[in-house]
Each structure stands twice: as C-alpha cells, then as structure tokens.
Amino acid sequence: MAAVAQLEATGLVKDFGGLRAVDVEAFTLYEGEIRAVIGPNGAGKTTFVSLLCGRFPPTKGCIEFEGRDITAMPAHQRVTLGIAYTFQITSIFGNLSLYDNVALPAQRRIILDGTGKVRDRAMAALERVGLADRAQEQASAQSYGHQRLLEVAMGLALGPKVLILDEPTQGLADSEIAEFIALIRDVAKGTTILLIEHNMPVVMALAERITVLDQGRVLAEGTPEAIRADKAVQTAYLGG
Amino acid sequence: MIRSILLHGIVIAALIGLEPVLSEYHHGNLARIMVLAAYATGYNILFGYTGLLSLGHAMFFAAGMYGCALMIRLAEWSVGAAFVMGMICALIAGIVVGLLALRTIGVGFMIVTLMFAEAGYLTILYFNEYTRGDEGFTIAQSVRAIGNLDLSDTTTRYFAALTLFSVCLMASAALVQSKAGRVLVAIRENEDRVRMLGFDPFRYKLLALVLSAVMAGAAGAAYAVLFGYAGASFAAVPYSIFPLLWVLLGGPGTTLGPLLGTVLMFYLVDYASGTIMPGLASLVETQFGIEAPGLASAYLLLVGVALVLLVLFAPKGLLGTLRARVVPWLP
Amino acid sequence: MDFLSYLPFTLPHPALLLAGVLEGMVLAAVLALTALGLSIVFGIMRVVNVAHGEFYMLGAVLAWFVTHTVTGTVGGPPWLGFAVALIVAPLIVAAIAAATDWLVLKRLDYDPEATIVATIGILYILQQLALTFYGPDARPVEAPFDFRVQTPYFGYSGYKLCVIGAAIVLMLIVWLVLTRTKIGLVMRATQYDRETAQAFGIPVDKVYAGVFALGAGLAAIGAVLIVPIQQAHYLMGGDPLLLSFIVVILGGLGSLKGTLVAAIFIGLSDGIISTLYEPTLAKILATLLVAMVLVFRPQGLFGARAA
C-alpha cells in the first residue's frame, strides 16, 4: 500500500515574542491514516495544529496540502480545500439548535459540491454521532460529552479529507470514550485523522502512527509500540 | 416559512388598512414612522442579525438624504433619479466605511463608526455653502412628485412610505431565511467557528454592512423627498443612536422588532413632549418651587432612560423576549 | 525673506502665534486632565465611558450653581465662590459617577458593548437633566482673580497661566497616587487581574466605583478650571468627549504617558489651528485620524498591543 503524502510541513517555526513555540523540521501526514500527536503540556501541539489549519500564520516554514503550497492561504479557504478542525475548548453555536449547528458546515459542503440538500447532509452528520434525535434541542443545553460529539458532527458535515481533532475526549466519561473510539474508527475509513490526545489508552487504541512533540520539536515518530518503548519519550513525559 | 410570510403579510395589510381610518395628524406620523422604521430595519440587519454595533449609521441615512436632496436642489434632477443617487451615495459610503471599519471588532468598531459619522457630520457643516449646515434646506412641494403622483399629498406620501418599508421588511425577512442570513447569525454567535467552517467572515460582514447602509440611505432619501427637508441634524450622533434604541426596544434580531420599536418610541416621545414633560415641569415648579426651565423640551431624557432600562433589564427587546419565552418561530 | 511669499499659507505675526500656543497649552492642560479621567477608567476597568463629557459638563454647571449661591445669595467674593466650587463640584460629580457605576455598570458586569450603550443612555439623562434645571442658556462664571501678565510685546491672562499650572500639579498628584500609594497599588492590581485581586480580598466592586468616581471627578475639575474662560452650557460636554476620545486612542488606551503626550499634541494643534485657521476642518481631520489609528494601529502610539 503506497502511502500518499497529504499534508506536509517543512521547517515550520512559530515564535511568540521571545518564545519559540513550534520548531518542526519535517512532518508528513499520509492519506487515510490515523495519526496521533502527543506530548507533555505546553509542548506546542495545539499551536502546531493551528498552524496547519491556518488559524494564524507561521513565522517561518512551508505547509503543503496535496502538493499545493497553502502557507499563505487563510483559514477559511483551507477548510474549503478539505481540512477541518475541531476545537480543544468546545466552540459551538450555543444559542442555536443542534440542527442549526451542523446545517452551517453542511451548507458549506453543498455550496462547494454544487449539489445536495442541507437537511440530508446535516441529519446524516448528527446520525453518525448519535445525536439525530436531539436535533431541535439547544446546543448549550447539552451535556459536555454531547457538545464534544456535536463538534465532531460539525467537522463531519464538512465532508473533509483531513479531520483534525484537538483533545476530543477531554472531559468525557469512560462509556462515552468507548463510543468515541468506535466512531473515529468508522470515520477513518474515508477520512485522514490527525488526533491530539492526552488520553494514552485512546491513543493506543486508535493511532496507527504517533508523533511526539516536546517543547515545539518532534521528539519521536513511529508506531505505538515503538513509541511506548522509546526512552526519550519516557523521559519527556515523566521528567517534564 | 409559511407562518413567516403570513405574519409579514398581515402586518403590511394592517398598515394598508389603517390608511383610510387615520386622522391627518396620525397619517403624517405613521408615514414618518414607516420611513424611520425602514432605517431601523436596515440597522437591525447589521446589529440584530450580524451582531455588529455601529454608532455611526446616521452617516448612511444622511448620505441618502443629501445625495438625493442636493441633486434636486442644485442639479434639478427628478425625484426618481435623485432617490437612486441617494442610494448610490449610501452604497459607496457603506463600502468605504466597511472596508476600513470591519478590520476592527467590538468596541473598536463602535468607535470607528462613531468617528466616521462625526467626520461626515462635520463635513456637511463645512460645506455650508451647499448644504446650509444645521439649518438645512427645504425642497419645494411642486418638485416632490413622481410622474402624476404628488408626494406631498398625505395619502400618496403614506403609501410611498409604506412601499419603502414593505420592501425593506421583505428584504430583511428574505435575508434572514437565506443561506447568507444563516451565516450572519452564526457570525454573531461565534465568528471564529464560522471561519473554521470555511466561510470568510469579512465578506459576509461587508455584505451585511453595505445592505444595511443602502437601506438607511433609501430611508434618508425618502425622508427628504416625502417631507421636503434636509438638514445636518440627521447626520448627527442622536440619529445614530435612535435606530439602536428602536431596534433594542422592539427586539434585535427579529424582523418586526424595528417597526415596533420605532412606533412605540415615536409615540412615547410625542406624548411626552406634548403632555408629560410640560405637565411635569409645571408640577415641579408649583409643588417643589424648583425652576425647571428646560424640562418641557428634555424629551431626550426618555431616550436615555429607555436605553439604560433596556440594556439592564431587557436586552432582547419586546419581540425578542416574546420569541424566547412564547413564540420560538418568530422570524 | 522672500521665500515666505511662496508658502501656501500666511505665517502669523509672532505675538499671534504665541497667543495661539498659549491658548493651546490651556486647552491641552484641561484636555489632559479630562482625558486622564477617561484613560484611567478604561485602563483599570476596561470600560469606555461615553458619558464622560457629561460629567465634565456637570462640573461646569455645578460650579455655576455654587458660585452663584456663594456670591449671590451669601454675598461672598468671587474667589471664595470659585474656591468652594472647585472643591464641591468635583465631589458631587464623583458621587454621581460612583452611584452610576454601582447601580448600572456593575449590574452589567462591565460587559464592553453593554456598557457603551448604557453610558450613552446616561449621557442623555445627565445632559437633559442639566437642560431641565440649568436651562438652555450659556452662563459665565467669574474668574477668581483678574490679573494680566504683561510684557512689553505681549499680555496674557494670569488666570489662564494658573490653569496650566494647576493642571500640571493635579496630574502629578494623580500619578503619585497611582504609582506610590497603597490605593494606587490596589487599583493597579485590579487592572491586571480582577479575579486574583478578588481572591486576595480586594473589594473589586468598591475599587471600580472609586475609579469611576475618580475619572469623573478629574473631568469635573477640568471643567471648573475652564468655566471662567468659556461659559457653562448644557451641551458643552460634546467637544471634550470627542477630544478626550481622540487623545486616549492616539495615546493608546490605558497608557497614561501616551495620554499626556497626545493631549499636549491635540491641545496645541487645536489651539493653534483654531486661533489661526478653520476649526471645523481641524476637527474633521482629527476624527478621521482617530478612525485610521484604530483601524491600522489599534494600540495607539504608546499603548501595548491588546492580548
């Protein structure tokens, strides 16, 4: 199975004043894989991923998506290319209904495709995460776990090629986490997944490959077994 | 959707039906109210639906008013052509201000719009020669006609104002139901998220601002033509605050809120300056022996009190609160 | 020198220029005090007070009432009336401001947009109450003393020079209080981190009321100082509000040094331009300048970039 490079970052650097938050020489995300990005707190995981989806520009470096240089491309355009991002701190439309929340990304997809109905797409996304029966309820009235699922549904409604999930299981109950793992396995059949996670069992259950970040740099990269055995990774986690 | 069409239809029909039964006094009032409600409807698109609080909308109203009135007065254009010119002036103002002001958010946006409006007002005063500044100028009755229709006739004027308001109301209702309207509401709720869902917020905000400006300009031009007057006071700060008040009172983010707010506030001020204030003034003087020389004309006091009370206790306004509690489908 | 005739404007006579500069300095002095009040309120409470100009106006109007009572009813000399006004008026204004904060702004939890709308309402309430009880006329207040500083070329009002001096002294006092005293420290602590300050037992609500009162009081003092030069009128708050905005935004919201520098710059330009050229044009340019600064350089000239 030939691995096709889908999202690549080269020499990616982000400085905040005097602090170098990200310094990644090379990073390649392959089409169809489930990649986890882990690292101790403050390692720069969210910053790194924010650079990839364009929430702010890098200080230096280059980002390519399917062979195309997107370094200067604004965030909303990257989304239309097929990169979707779910927020670490839940960012939904609290005052709107669940349906209205997913209707918006559904609408985006349909405008891009030129065909399809918003209702069908939106309900399909809600079905997939198991929230379809609550479609008319208000988003802010949902439990935290359901709100996280709504975030994922919004990402799915976009029909992205790459889905970036930023600490999606944080705050979820164990039963919800198990359901979540099953959901992502299902989604991964058609979408490349880039997953930032602290929850090691989730990482081990889902990830095909793991990238470890520490202080903005790539510390190690490899299969879950290799990472588990890696001494440097152990030091970073236990020492940091 | 059907309910929405019915609702708006009923309101417009009611306004049509009122025409023959109104006294001369209320005829003129309602015509004025409808023009101002069109202004407020435009403001609502930006404030109520998109969540951008402009403190300078008077500049768009005045752009329409002067764009139209000056063409009639100085270049002797016909009413129709001048009206279009007024809207074009407001359109240009909206685009220019939008391209600049939309680079700021929140408090910055409020102040920038306030500053632009203030500059606009001062410019009108500066070119006193042409605009007659604060004093303003009138447009002769003979000129105010479209074809055979004499716009200074109370009935014609009423229906002209009604037409303007209806068009603005329908446009606003259509926008709200549309895909673009959905994006605007989402921007109001959570702009960052909207960006990460693939929409360019700037483009949508600019659309909302320009549409809002054009409606305000149309109202301004209509006011000049229907009431035969243009003056710098329509470009001053109070005229930027009024639509905010009307929309807040009626319910920001509801299509009919602006009309309700304008009607209520208009009659409240009218009643106050006519009856309450003078009565209060003489009461204060006789009962407390305090001289209150200005009380009779201090109707803006009500505006101030209304704003504070609304912001403290009812930021959703009348229809907004109704929608939240009782009628969730209210557009 | 012949090249002077090629300039696009006429150079004024030196005495006129000096007069313009001094007028500018008087304006700058009062403007600096007023803008300082606005700046402190924004710096510490993160609140834009649109009614600030009305607190200024109230200072002037109350000064008129006080001097009128002292000199008229009681029959005291002008300087006494003025001295009492200088103390009493700002205190009353400060009290009104504190009440406003407690009753309205606190309930809004100092939400930036809601506060602006509320202060607009308060603007109209204060303005119209002044109209109600003071009336629509402009009335003069007698200056406390009447000497002129006279040189062979040029004479200038001694009172105006004292205004400049008084403003400088007051600003120094405020700066000392903010940076050297415990009260100032408490204020700055609530500015940095409201929640932590609260956790340390600082009564943030009361501090905010005090800060708001201080801001209004400074504006009122400025107005009392200027009222013998201008007259007291219920609409006189509009210009100082606009100018204070310009000063605070150019200087950087929250930066006291920036406020001072900008006040001097604006005061001088306004003074010089108004004395010599067309004031409306100057105001147009000033408002557009503020707008552009906010759009392209929101931190102003001295302020730090907002987090």
Buried b vs exposed e over A16-28: b needs ≥16 C-beta within 10 Å?
A: eeeeebbbbeebe
Specify the pLDDT at position C263: 85
Chain B: residue nearest C124 by CA? Answer: B304
- Answer yes or no: is pLDDT of C274 > 90: no
Question: Quick check: B126 and C284 CB within 8 A?
Answer: yes
Specify the pLDDT at position C22: 78
The alpha-carbon gap from C142 to the nearest alpha carbon of chain B, in Å, equals 23
Interface test with A, best of B193, B323, B329 (most A CBs within 10 A): B193
Cβ atoms of A15 and A21 within 8 Å: the answer is yes
Chain A: residue nearest B198 by CA? Answer: A76
Chain A: residue nearest B183 by CA? Answer: A104
Specify the pLDDT at position C187: 75
Would you place residue A240 in the very low, low, confident or very high pLDDT band (cuts 50, 70, 90)?
A: very low
- Percentage with pLDDT > 70 across chain B: 97
Give the mean pLDDT of A181-207: 90
CA quadruple A101, A102, A103, A105: dihedral, nearest 10: 110
CA atoms within 13 A on the CB side of A141: 9
Would you place residue C54 in the very low, low, confident or very high pLDDT band (cuts 50, 70, 90)?
A: very high
* Residue of B189, B194, B199 with shortest CB distance to A95: B189
- Percentage with pLDDT > 70 across chain A: 98
Would you place residue B200 in the very low, low, confident or very high pLDDT band (cuts 50, 70, 90)?
A: very high
Size of interface B-C (CB pairs under 8 A): 133
Specify the pLDDT at position B292: 67
- Percentage with pLDDT > 90 across chain C: 20
Question: Quick check: B201 and A76 CB within 8 A?
Answer: yes
Task: Provide, as residue numbers in chain B, all residues whose Cβ is less than 8 Å from the Cβ of A53.
Answer: 196
CA quadruple B314, B319, B324, B327: dihedral, nearest 10: 160
* Placement of tokens 């009040």 in the chain: C37
Question: Quick check: B196 and A87 CB within 8 A?
Answer: yes
Q: Which of 193-212 (B) contact A at CB < 8 A?
A: 193-201
Specify the pLDDT at position B56: 94
Which amino acid is residue B106, in one-letter code? G
* Residue of A76, A96, A105 with shortest CB distance to B189: A96
- Answer yes or no: is pLDDT of C306 > 50: no
Give the mean pLDDT of C181-209: 78
Give the mean pLDDT of C274-288: 76
DSSP C139: B
Give the Cα separation of B65 and B62 in Å (integer). 5
The Cα angle at residue C10 between residues C5 and C11, in degrees rounded to 5: 100
Question: Quick check: A75 and B196 CB within 8 A?
Answer: yes
Size of interface A-B (CB pairs under 8 A): 61
Specify the pLDDT at position B309: 92
Specify the pLDDT at position C305: 46
Q: Which domains does chain C have, with CATH numbers?
A: 14-300 (1.10.3470)
Give the Cα separation of C228 and C79 in Å (integer). 11
Chain B: residue nearest C298 by CA? Answer: B108
Would you place residue C181 in the very low, low, confident or very high pLDDT band (cuts 50, 70, 90)?
A: confident
* Residue of A85, A93, A103 with shortest CB distance to B190: A93
Q: Let me know if chains C and A touch, i.e. at least 3 Cβ pairs under 8 angstroms.
A: no
Domain boundaries, chain B: 2-235
Specify the pLDDT at position B242: 93
Q: Let me know if chains B and C touch, i.e. at least 3 Cβ pairs under 8 angstroms.
A: yes
The alpha-carbon gap from B160 to the nearest alpha carbon of chain C, in Å, equals 33
Question: Quick check: A76 and B186 CB within 8 A?
Answer: no
Return the minimum-mean-pLDDT range out of A175-179, A226-230, C76-80: C76-80
Give the Cα separation of B36 and B30 in Å (integer). 10
Q: Which chains touch A (3 or more CB pairs under 8 A)?
A: B
Task: Provide, as residue numbers in chain B, all residues whose Cβ is less than 8 Å from the Cβ of A107.
Answer: 179, 182-183
Chain B: residue nearest A100 by CA? Answer: B182
**pLDDT tens track for C10-31:** 666 777 777 777 777 888 889 8
Question: Quick check: B115 and C117 CB within 8 A?
Answer: no
- Answer yes or no: is pLDDT of B36 > 90: yes
Return the minimum-mean-pLDDT range out of A134-138, B39-43, C252-256: C252-256
Of A8 and B285, more confident: A8
Give the Cα separation of B90 and B66 in Å (integer). 10
The alpha-carbon gap from B311 to the nearest alpha carbon of chain C, in Å, equals 6
Any C CB within 8 A of B116 CB: yes
* Residue of B55, B294, B303 with shortest CB distance to C124: B303
**pLDDT tens track for A125-161:** 999 888 989 888 889 899 888 898 899 999 999 999 9
- Answer yes or no: is pLDDT of C252 > 80: no
| Beta bridge partners of residue A163, listed in sequence order | A84, A193
Q: Which chains touch B (3 or more CB pairs under 8 A)?
A: A, C
**pLDDT tens track for B68-127:** 999 988 888 888 899 999 999 999 999 999 999 999 888 789 889 999 999 999 999 999
Would you place residue C6 in the very low, low, confident or very high pLDDT band (cuts 50, 70, 90)?
A: low
Would you place residue C62 in the very low, low, confident or very high pLDDT band (cuts 50, 70, 90)?
A: very high
- Answer yes or no: is pLDDT of C215 > 50: yes
Specify the pLDDT at position B294: 65
Interface test with C, best of B46, B265, B311 (most C CBs within 10 A): B311
Q: Mean pLDDT score of chain B, rounded to an integer?
A: 89
Tally Cβ neighbours within 10 Å of residue C109: 8
For the record, the structure tokens of A2 come out as: 């030939």
Would you place residue A34 in the very low, low, confident or very high pLDDT band (cuts 50, 70, 90)?
A: very high
Question: Quick check: C122 and B308 CB within 8 A?
Answer: yes
Give the mean pLDDT of A193-214: 90
Task: Provide, as residue numbers in chain C, all residues whose Cβ is less than 8 Å from the Cβ of B111.
Answer: 48, 245, 249, 290-291, 294
The alpha-carbon gap from B197 to the nearest alpha carbon of chain A, in Å, equals 6
**pLDDT tens track for B271-320:** 877 777 777 777 777 777 666 666 666 778 888 898 899 999 988 899 99
The alpha-carbon gap from A151 to the nearest alpha carbon of chain B, in Å, equals 10
Question: Burial of B13 by CB count in 10 Å (0-12 exposed, 13-18 middle, 19+ buried)?
Answer: exposed
Question: Quick check: B185 and A96 CB within 8 A?
Answer: yes
Q: Which residues contact C107 (CB under 8 A, 6 or more apart)?
A: B312
Residue A51 main-chain phi, psi, to 5 deg: -65, -40
The complex scores an ipTM of: 0.87
Question: Quick check: C288 and B108 CB within 8 A?
Answer: no
* Residue of C107, C136, C290 with shortest CB distance to B294: C136
Task: Provide, as residue numbers in chain B, all residues whose Cβ is less than 8 Å from the Cβ of A93.
Answer: 186, 189-190, 193
Give the Cα separation of C78 and C80 in Å (integer). 5
The alpha-carbon gap from A25 to the nearest alpha carbon of chain B, in Å, equals 26
Question: Quick check: B201 and A96 CB within 8 A?
Answer: no
Question: Burial of A230 by CB count in 10 Å (0-12 exposed, 13-18 middle, 19+ buried)?
Answer: middle
Secondary structure element (H or E) that encloses residue C170, with its range: helix C158-180
Cβ atoms of C132 and C195 within 8 Å: the answer is no
Specify the pLDDT at position C213: 94
**pLDDT tens track for B201-234:** 999 999 999 999 999 999 999 999 999 899 999 9
DSSP C305: P
Q: Mean pLDDT score of chain A, rounded to an integer?
A: 89
**pLDDT tens track for A42-53:** 888 999 999 999
Cβ atoms of B231 and B136 within 8 Å: the answer is yes
